[in-house]
Chain A
Amino acid sequence: MPVAVEDVLAGNRLALARLLSQIENDTAEGRQILNELFPHSGQAALIGVTGAPGTGKSSLVNQIAYHYRHPADGRQPKRVAVVAVDPSSPFSGGAVLGDRIRMHSLSGDPDVFIRSMASRGSLGGLARATAGLVQAFDAAGFEIILIETVGAGQAEVEIARLAHTTLVVEAPGLGDDVQAIKAGILEIADILVVNKADRPGVEQTERALRGMLQLAHPGKRQYHHGRLISAPEPEEKPLNEPEWVPPIQRTVATEGNGVSELLALIDQHRDYLKQTGELARREAARLTAEVDLLVEAGLVDRWRRGLANGWYQEVLARVMNREISPRQAAAKLTASKREEG
C-alpha cells in the first residue's frame, strides 16, 4: 500500500511506520517521499545516546523521553521519537531488537514514537537509513529525536555525526570498558553520563573519565572537536568564543535520578551550538557530505553503466599480470575515449 506524504505530515502513525520501512529498505517510493519531506525537516533536536552494551542506554532514553513529555517546570511537552539501533547477526542477517523492553513508561503516549532498527549490512547503509528515519521523524513534527546505538565503533561515530548532541554513557563495574572508551568515543561525546550511579565504583569511573577529558581538553583556549567532520579550523573562530568542555553527569536511569539535570545540560549544549553558530556549521557540513556522497555514487554508477562489456575485467587482468599499474588502469577505465594499448 503506497504511503501518502500528506498522511505522514498530518501525523498518521501507520503511514509514518510504513514510510520508515520503505526508508530502511531503500525503495524508490521511500526515496521519493523523503525528497518531498525534506523541506519540512530541520526543526528537531537530534540527540545521540551511545556507550558499551548494558550501560543503561535504553533505560536512560526512556527517562529522557519521559522528562521531555512531562516537564517539571511547566514548559510545553515536546513530541519525542526514538530510533534504537541494535546489531544484526552476521550469520543470519536477522536480529533480536530488545531496547523497547526498557521503554515501557512511554507506552500509550501518542506523541512518542519508538522505532527499533537492525544495523543490517553495510556501515554506509546504516548511516543512510538512520539519517532517513531521522529526517522522516523530523518532518512529521517530532521535536526531540533520540538515537540509541551500542558500542564505540565506526558506526557510532557515523551516527554521532548526525546528532547535534551526543551522550556517551558509562557505568561503573564494567571492568576495562573505560579503557575502551578512550579509543575515540570521547571525541564524539558532548556530554558524559555515568549511569548506574547507585552502584559501587562511581567515583572511580568518574575520576577516570575526568582524567581522560583533561587529556582531551588541556587548555581553555582549545577548540572543541565535537565532530570528526570537516569543520572550520580553530583559527577561524574568534578567540573569545566559549569552549564546550563535555560535562559529566551521574544518573540512575532505573529511578530517574539526575535526569532533570541531564536535560538541563542537553539544553545548555543546544544553546551553545546555536549561539556559536556551530549548529549551522555542523548542519552545513553534514548536508554537504551527504550531497557529495550521492554525487560520487551517482558518478560511479553512470561510469559503470557506460563501460563496454568486459573492458573492466580486461583491464583488471592486465593489472594482475603486472603489465600496467593500478593507476594506469584507473586512467584507462575513466578516460573519456577507450584507447587500446
Chain B
Amino acid sequence: MSQEKIRVIVAKPGLDGHDRGAKVVARALRDAGMEVIYTGLRQTPEMIAEAALQEDVDAVGLSVLSGAHMALVPRILELLKANGQDKVGVFIGGIIPDEDIPRLAEMGVAGVYGPGTRTDDIVQDIQKFAGQKS
C-alpha cells in the first residue's frame, strides 16, 4: 500500500500575461489525485528548477504563450540536469509552432500540448510518465 503521490510543478515562465490555462491544468491534475505545486506567473528558469528540486517533483508543467519557449525550455532542462533531476519530465502547454515540436522532443521534452488539448490527455501522459520512471 504505497502512499506515494505524483508531484508536479505547474509554472508560468516568461513575462507574458495570464495563467488561466495553467490553473485549469493544475486543477485537472489535482482532480486526478496528483499534488500540484503551483508557483504562479513570471517564473525564471532558475526559480522553476529550484522549486522542482526542493519539492522533489516527478514532472514540471510549463505554460508558455510568449513564444519564448525555444529560449526558456533548454535552460530549464539544463538546470534540472545540473541539479541531478534529469529524470524529471518536462511538459509544455501553450502556443507552440508545429515545427518546434520535434526540436523540443529532441531536447528531451516529454510532451507538448497546443490550445484545445483535453486535460485528460495531459493527465494520462503524466501518469504514464511517472509510472515508467523509477
Contact = CB atoms under 8 A, between A and B. Distances in A.
Contacts, number: 82
Interface in B1-60: 2-5, 7, 26-27, 29-40, 46-47, 50-51, 53-56
Contact of B3 (A101, A116, A120): A120
B116 interface: no
A13 B47 contact: no
Contacts of B85: 14
Contacts of A21: 7, 56
B35 A17 contact: no
A267 B12 CA distance: 37
A229 interface: no
A104 B32 contact: no
A100 B36 contact: no
A18 B40 CA distance: 24
Interface of A: 13-14, 17-18, 20-21, 24-26, 88-89, 91-98, 100-101, 104, 107-108, 113-116, 118, 120-121
Contacts of A93: 5, 33
Contacts of B39: 100-101
5 contacts: A21-B56, A95-B35, A96-B36, A97-B35, A120-B5
A97 B39 CA distance: 9
B56 A92 contact: no
A101 B40 contact: yes
A108 B5 contact: no
A116 to B, nearest CB: 5
Max chain A Cβ within 10 angstroms of own Cβ: one of B35, B38, B47, B51: B35
A17 B53 contact: yes
Interface in B52-109: 53-56, 83-85
Name B's interface SS: mixed
Given A94-B32, A94-B36, A97-B36, A24 B53 contact: no
Contact of A108 (B27, B47, B54): B47
Given A14-B83, A17-B54, A94 B46 contact: no
Given A17-B55, A20-B56, A92-B30, A118 B35 contact: yes
A251 B134 CA distance: 45
A13 B38 contact: no
Nearest to B44: A107
B3 A100 contact: no
Contacts of A17: 53-56
A114 B39 CA distance: 12
